[in-house]
Amino acid sequence: MNTIISRKNNRKIFKLSILCFATMAASSLSLADASKTEVIKTDAVKRETLPKFTAKEIPALCEAKIVETQKQLDAFAAEPLVQDSAAASVLAKWDAIFASFENFSGPVSFYSNVDPDEKIRQASEDCEVKMSEFQTGVFQDARLYQKIKRIQPNDAIDTKYRQDILQAFENTGVQLSADKQVRLKDIMLQLTKIEQEYARNVRDNPEKLEFTPAELKGLPQSYIDGLKKNDKGNYRLGFEYPEYQPFMQFADNDSARKRYQIAFTRRGGEQNLQLLKQAVDLRYELAQLFGKSSYAEWVLENRMAKTPEAVNQFLNSIHDKVVPLEKQEVKTLQEFKAKTLKIPFKQAKIERWSEAYWSEKLRQAKYQIDQEKMREYFPTQAAQDWLFAISSNLYGIQFKPVKVDVWQAEVEYYDVVDSKTGELLGGLYMDRFPRQGKYGHAAVWSIYNGSSLTQRKPISALVTNFNRKGLNSDELETFVHEFGHALHGILSNTRYASQAGTSVERDFVEAPSQMYEEWARRQETLSKVANYCNPACPQVDDALIKKLNAVHSYGRGLFYARQTLYAQYDMALHSNDALKLQPLEVWKNMEGKTALGYVPTTEFPGQFGHLMGGYQAGYYGYMWSEVIALDMLSAFGDNLNNPEVGQRYRQAILSQGSQKDAEKMVEDFLGRKPDNKAFFDEINGQRVK
pLDDT value at position 646? 97
- Could you tell me if 31 and 156 lie in one domain? yes
pLDDT value, residue 274:
98
Same domain, 39 and 154: yes
Say what the pLDDT of residue 455 is: 82
Local confidence band at 23 (pLDDT 50, 70, 90 cut-offs):
very low
The predicted structure's pLDDT at residue 689: 62
Residues 137 and 235 in one domain: no
Average pLDDT for residues 632-636, to the nearest whole number?
Answer: 96
CA dihedral 386, 388, 392, 395 (to 10 degrees): 110
Alpha-carbon separation of residue 207 from 204, 238, 682 (angstroms): 9, 6, 39
Which pLDDT does position 12 carry in this prediction? 32
Contact 609, 113 (CB under 8 A): no
Asked if 134 and 66 count as a contact pair (C-beta separation under 8 A), the reply is yes
> Taking the model in full, what pTM does it have?
0.87
pLDDT tier at 10 (50, 70, 90 boundaries)? very low
Query: What pLDDT was estimated at residue 45?
Result: 52
The number of beta carbons lying within 10 Å of the beta carbon of residue 313 is 11
Is the pLDDT at 38 greater than 60, yes or no? no
Judge whether 48 lies within some domain.
yes
Residue 3 has pLDDT above 80, yes or no: no
Question: Do the Cβ atoms of 223 and 293 come closer than 8 Å?
Answer: no
Q: Which of 384, 380, 393, 476 is nearest to 429 (CA)?
A: 384
Say how many CA atoms lie within 13 Å of 243 toward its Cβ: 21
**Average pLDDT in the 486-498 region?**
96
Distance in angstroms (rounded) separating the CA atoms of residues 189 and 130:
8
Say what the pLDDT of residue 408 is.
97
Residue 32 CA to residue 61 CA, distance in Å, equals 8
Residue 325 has pLDDT above 80, yes or no: yes
Contact between residue 47 and residue 448 where contact means Cβ atoms under 8 Å apart: no
Please list the helix, strand and coil fractions of the chain in percent, rounded to the nearest 5, in that order.
60, 5, 35
Q: How far, in Å, CA of 250 to CA of 536, rounded?
A: 26
Whether 424 is covered by a domain: the verdict is: no
CATH number of the domain that 106 lies in?
Answer: 1.20.1050.40
State the average pLDDT over residues 153-159. Answer: 94
Confirm whether 527 is domain-assigned. no
Instruction: Give the angle subtended at the CA of 114 by the CAs of 112 and 119, to the nearest 5°.
Output: 50
Q: Has residue 166 been placed in a domain?
A: yes
Model pLDDT, residue 688: 67
Indicate the residue among 217, 250, 283 that finishes a domain.
250
Average pLDDT (353-357) is 97
Taking Cα atoms as reference points, which of 349, 75, 302, 305 lies closest to residue 169? 302
Q: E-assigned strands of 155-302?
A: 209-211, 235-237
Instruction: Identify whether the C-beta of residue 444 lies closer than 8 Å to the C-beta of residue 114.
Output: no
Omega within 30 of 0 (cis) for the link into 535? yes
Number of neighbours of residue 531 by Cβ within 10 angstroms: 12
Mean local confidence (pLDDT), 567-594: 97
Q: Are residues 18 and 167 in the same domain?
A: yes
Please provide the average confidence, as pLDDT, over all residues in the chain. Answer: 91
Determine the pLDDT at residue 241: 87
> Do 127 and 68 share a structural domain?
yes
Would you state the pLDDT for residue 84? 52
Question: Which residues span the domain enclosing 232?
Answer: 209-250
Average the pLDDT over 535-541 and give the result: 95
Instruction: Reply yes or no on whether the pLDDT at 43 is more than 90.
Output: no
DSSP 419-452: TTT--EEEEEEEE-S--TTS--S-EEEEEE--BT
Answer yes or no: do 25 and 160 share one domain: yes
Helix extents (H) in 79-117: 86-114
Total Cβ atoms within 10 A of residue 601: 9
Domain boundary residue, one of 154, 176, 198 = 176
Is residue 129 situated within a structural domain?
A: yes
Q: Domain end: 227, 250, 273, which one?
A: 250
Measured distance CA(14)–CA(12) in Å, rounded: 6
User: Is the confidence at residue 72, as pLDDT, over 50?
Assistant: yes
Separation of alpha carbons 404 and 407, rounded Å = 10
Using CA atoms, how far residue 96 sits from 24, 92, 155, 425, 617, in Å, is 10, 6, 19, 19, 31
Confidence of residue 164 (pLDDT cuts 50, 70, 90): very high
Annotate 116-161 with three-state secondary structure: CCHHHHHHHHHHHHHHHHHHHHHCCCHHHHHHHHHCCCCCHHHHHH
Q: Are residues 172 and 219 in the same domain?
A: no
Q: Are residues 170 and 235 in the same domain?
A: no
Q: Is residue 40 part of a domain?
A: yes
Are 126 and 54 part of one and the same domain?
yes
Least confident of 30-44, 333-347, 590-604: 30-44
CA 187 – CA 167 distance, rounded (Å): 19
- Residue 536's alpha-carbon distances to 374, 382, 523, 530, in angstroms, are 14, 10, 18, 7
- Residue 45 within any structural domain of the chain: yes
Q: How confident is the model at residue 29 (pLDDT cuts 50, 70, 90)?
A: very low
Higher-pLDDT residue of 30 and 484 is: 484
Measure the CA–CA gap between 539 and 553, rounded to whole angstroms: 22
**Hey, is 596 helix, strand or coil?**
coil
pLDDT tens column, 84-127: 557 889 999 999 999 999 999 999 999 999 999 999 999 999 99
Identify whether residues 54 and 110 lie together within a single domain: yes
In the chain, the percentage of residues whose pLDDT exceeds 70 is 92
Residues 142 and 52 in one domain: yes
Give residue 39's pLDDT band: very low, low, confident or very high (50, 70, 90): very low
pLDDT tens column, 388-445? 999 999 999 999 999 999 999 999 999 999 999 999 999 999 999 999 889 988 999 9
Number of domains present in the structure of the chain: 2
Do 48 and 147 have their domain in common?
yes
| Residue 201 pLDDT | 95
φ, ψ of residue 204 in degrees (nearest 5) = -100, 15
Domain assignment of residue 497, yes or no: no
